[in-house]
Each structure stands twice: as structure tokens, then as C-alpha cells.
Amino acid sequence: MGTTVAEIKDIKKSFGSNNVLAGLNLKVESGENLVVFGKSGSGKSVLIKCLVGLLEPDEGTAILFGENVSELKERELNLVRKKVGFLFQSAALYDSMTVRENLEFPLRDLKPKTNEETDALIIEALTNVGLADAIDKMPSELSGGMRKRVGLARTLILKPELILYDEPTTGLDPITSKEISHLILDIQKKYNTASIIITHDVECARITSNRMIIIKNGTAIAEGTFKELAESTDEWVRSFFK
């Protein structure tokens, strides 16, 4: 059992009268891939946005590397965030920058590096996702799968200890989805990163998960390995895997 890198304690979050999270708990250990599974609109993305302080929970605590996120000052929070990678559903590449500039951007606040060192880091990150030849392209020239890969490379460049994947395979064809899922697994093995993978893609969950939780009505209603949940006695849980 590794150390706990992220923990969510009894988090509640509402948007108007819509209670999205209603007392959810989870814990992620170092080197572990945790898949958060659930229907669309069940609050999976809200969960990881609360974890990194992009959204303020109404109640409950989000803890990253032992620090209570809501109690951190902006500067302290930014330091903790440097240890976390976030792959957005849309990849969120900066439109006005080339792939190289997109990857350079998160490095700006780190210790001064020579151009050669920066280039080596960029090429290493792009090689890891199989896109070294796209270095001078603009995001508009990339396909959906390539954008996700570049987004992942940008996440990897800071060598994060925890990566949060928000629907990494949504909008991709089955072959590219599988490639991205295997890439997530490769990254875990290579860098020993912990991950929270938000998805409703069964194949992605099967490939990437060490452990899964299933969210319903804002709380975790089931937890276990992919196999355990696929063979659950609960009909609703089992219905996800059919």
C-alpha cells in the first residue's frame, strides 16, 4: 500500500437546486489508477475540479499531498498544483501557441533552463505520446486524438505525481480510444504516477483501472476492481458493464 496522494472527504456541491455531489468520499494511493465511473452528469468532472481548487465545494474537504486545498493561499495552491497534471476533456490546448509553446508554457515558472534542456524535455514528452513530429504544428492542425496526446504530453512535462484525466476517450473512435487508454497505462508504469480517471467508457476502465468507484446521485455507491464490479450483485452497477 502506497502513501495517500489525494483524498476527498464528504464533499458536497450544488449548482442551484441541483445537488451534484452529496457527501462523496475517495482516496488515491501513490502509483494507483483509480477510475471514477458513472452516468453523464453524475458529477464526476465536478469532483476532480473540486480536488484541484477550480471549484469550491459547499461542504467537505479536498486534500492533495496532505494539504487541505481550500485552506491554501493562492501561491501555496499553485505549488501543490505543480505536482498535479490535468488532462481536460477538450485537451484545452492554447490555440494561439504551437505545440512546442504549449509544452514550454508550464515550464516558465520553474528554475531557469537552457534552450537545449527545455527542447530535450519537450521532445521527451512528445516522444512518450508518439507525436515528436508534431512539435511545430498549431493545435488547429491536429486531430482529436492528437490533441489529447499533446494535452497529455503537456501534462507529463512537469513530471506530475498525480494525473487527473477528465473523460480521456470521449469523442474518439474505438481504436484511438484504446490507444489513449494504453498510453495512460504506459505512463503509470513508466513514471509510477497515481491517476484519477473520469470516464464512462467501459473499455477504458477495463484497461486502465486498478480500482474503480461508481457514482450515483452524488455519492459512491460501489467500489472494487473492474472484475468485482462487473460481477456485482447490484443490477444497476452490473448494467454499466453489459
CB of 172 to another protein, least distance (A): 17
CB of 139 to another protein, least distance (A): 10
Residues found near another protein in the complex (CB under 8 A): 49, 52, 54, 74, 78-79, 81-82, 84, 86, 88-90, 92-95, 105-106, 108-109, 154, 158
**Could you give the C-alpha distances from 110 to 35, 118, 127, 158, in angstroms and in order?**
31, 11, 22, 9
Cα–Cα distance measured from residue 237 to residue 215, given in angstroms and rounded to the nearest whole number: 10
CB–CB of 9/1 below 8 Å?
Answer: no
Rg (CA), the chain: 18
- Residue 88 or 191 having the CB closest to another protein: 88
CB of 221 to another protein, least distance (A): 28
The alpha carbon of 155 is separated from its chain's Cα centroid by a whole number of angstroms, namely 9
Cα–Cα distance measured from residue 171 to residue 186, given in angstroms and rounded to the nearest whole number: 21
- Residue 74 or 235 having the CB closest to another protein: 74
- Residue 34 or 91 having the CB closest to another protein: 91
- Residue 157 or 222 having the CB closest to another protein: 157
CB of 86 to another protein, least distance (A): 4
Question: Closest Cα partner for 2 from 212, 211, 167?
Answer: 211
